[in-house]
């Protein structure tokens, strides 16, 4: 009794609904199967006493929340993780010392600059060289013993993976005069490419830390081991200032043969030699100050000879410009990303309103950052001009800008490690 038109509509509706339900069910099953068989795109696996840890899964927000919870319980260890852009860009923020030696917050309430303030310093973020302590125990004489580091090297042939276990350190120097102890941790990098950067957790109040942490680096052919160098940087964590560098250990794998099994090594920790650090490239910037308008014009011109940060041998750099008043970040801007180049040309300018009387306390920080779509952006190098400049070229550049108003002053500067 149903007309052909109505029957056709009902049939078409049933057909469309059936197909939609089938496609939805198939998509859900396919996604579930992919999740079960998907291989994590991590460069390394971190083993902490038999427990696998993937540092890349920790977002910046989660790490900051963990740090803030630790503020109420100083005995707990800080959150660990790779060096992040957020930690580097907040490097100038620190705390002032009161008359009794206690830490007080920087006084910036009267700052007459109407811009958004930056994030406050988290405990695991360090200061720039300009904010380091005047007397650092990390620069002792050559006759002072810095201790020894024990670690092991192994190679997994089926997985083409280099396995490095940081076991323990002995006889570390005292870095905290108040507790007569240290809070050591270790950063490790595989040279010369510096593609793999990892670090251990912080161990509190000890001069003989036992880390027992294993890092597995995949995608390293055995034939290339002879060209690699393991670089261990031993540091002491400082909650209110820059982490102190105790020393370093350089281990060329040319003299190590892990083909027959795990090789355990003990090396003496040596004073860090800054001159051996690989160049981070150069950055050309131009500064000009207009005293009448009370404006500072910053132009990021170009960079050259940047290190290779990607597997392709290139990089995707951009520059982040942070302006600090004292130790407080008061403005931040960034350039566009330049794809697949080690010699980018930016030619981008930024204008900041800065009163004349605040110029002696202003610092401008340039962070050259490698953009990565899948993992965290990594800081390539840093340049600081202004009150906290630590290089002779930076001091001279800032002096010329202040002494020659309305004149753009452009100079090349070598980038330093963060």
pLDDT(400) > 50: yes
pLDDT tens per residue across span 171-228? 898 888 788 888 999 998 888 776 677 889 999 989 999 999 999 888 888 888 888 8
Q: How far apart are CA 314 and CA 258, in angstroms?
A: 31
pLDDT(235) > 80: yes
Taking the mean position of all CA atoms in its chain, how far away is CA 92? Answer: 14
> Do 147-271 and 281-415 have matching folds?
yes
Q: For the ranges 63-67, 243-247, 264-268, which has the lowest average pLDDT?
A: 63-67
Segment 342-365 mean pLDDT: 92
- Domain spanning 147-271: CATH superfamily: C2 domain (2.60.40.150)
- Domain spanning 281-415: CATH superfamily: C2 domain (2.60.40.150)
Cβ burial 247-275 (10 Å sphere, 16+ → b, else e): bbbebebeebebeeeeeeeeeebebbeee
pLDDT at 88: 53
Cβ-based neighbours of 346, under 8 Å, separated by 6 or more = 300, 301, 302, 303, 318, 319, 335, 336, 338
pLDDT tens per residue across span 301-330? 999 988 887 767 788 999 999 999 988 899
pLDDT tens per residue across span 1-25? 668 888 888 888 999 999 999 999 9
The pTM assigned to this predicted structure is 0.43
- Listed by start position, the domains of the chain span 147-271, 281-415
DSSP conformational letter for 395 = H
Kindly report the length of the chain.
418
């Amino acid at each position: 009794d149903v007309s052909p038109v109505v029957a056709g509509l009902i049939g078409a509706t049933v057909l469309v609904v059936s197909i939609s339900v089938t496609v939805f069910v198939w998509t859900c099953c396919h996604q579930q199967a992919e999740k079960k068989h998907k291989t994590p795109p991590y460069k390394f696996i971190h083993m902490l006493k038999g427990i696998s840890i993937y540092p890349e899964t920790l977002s910046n927000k989660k790490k900051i929340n963990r740090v803030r919870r630790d503020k109420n319980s100083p005995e707990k260890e800080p959150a660990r993780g790779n060096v992040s852009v957020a930690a580097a860009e907040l490097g100038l923020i620190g705390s002032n010392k009161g008359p009794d030696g206690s830490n007080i917050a920087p006084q910036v309430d009267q700052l007459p600059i109407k811009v958004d303030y930056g994030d406050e310093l988290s405990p695991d973020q360090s200061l720039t060289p300009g904010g380091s302590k005047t007397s650092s125990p990390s620069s002792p004489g050559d006759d002072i013993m810095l201790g020894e580091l024990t670690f092991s090297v192994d190679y997994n042939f089926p997985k083409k993976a280099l396995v490095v276990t940081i076991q323990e350190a002995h006889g570390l120097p005292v870095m905290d005069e108040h507790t007569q102890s240290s809070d050591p941790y270790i950063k490790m990098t595989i040279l010369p490419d510096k593609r793999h950067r990892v670090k251990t957790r912080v161990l509190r109040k000890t001069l003989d830390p036992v880390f027992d942490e294993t890092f597995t680096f995949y995608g390293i052919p055995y034939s290339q081991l002879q060209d690699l160098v393991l670089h261990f940087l031993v540091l002491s964590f400082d909650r209110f200032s820059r982490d102190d560098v105790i020393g370093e250990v350089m281990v060329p794998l040319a003299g190590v043969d892990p083909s027959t099994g795990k090789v355990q090594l003990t090396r003496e920790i040596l004073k860090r030699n800054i001159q051996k650090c690989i160049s981070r490239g150069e950055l050309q910037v131009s500064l000009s100050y207009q005293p009448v308008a009370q404006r500072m014009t910053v132009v990021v011109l170009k960079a050259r000879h940047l290190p290779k940060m990607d597997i392709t041998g290139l990089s995707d750099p951009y520059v982040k410009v942070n302006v600090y008043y004292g130790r407080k970040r008061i403005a931040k801007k960034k350039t566009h990303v330049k794809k697949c180049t080690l010699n980018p040309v930016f030619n981008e300018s930024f204008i900041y309103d800065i009163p004349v009387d605040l110029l002696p306390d202003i610092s401008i920080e340039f962070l050259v950052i490698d953009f990565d779509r899948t993992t965290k952006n990594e800081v390539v190098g840093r340049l600081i001009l202004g009150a906290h400049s630590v290089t002779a070229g930076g001091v001279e550049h800032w002096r010329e800008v202040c002494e020659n108003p309305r004149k753009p002053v452009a100079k090349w500067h070598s980038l330093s490690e963060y």
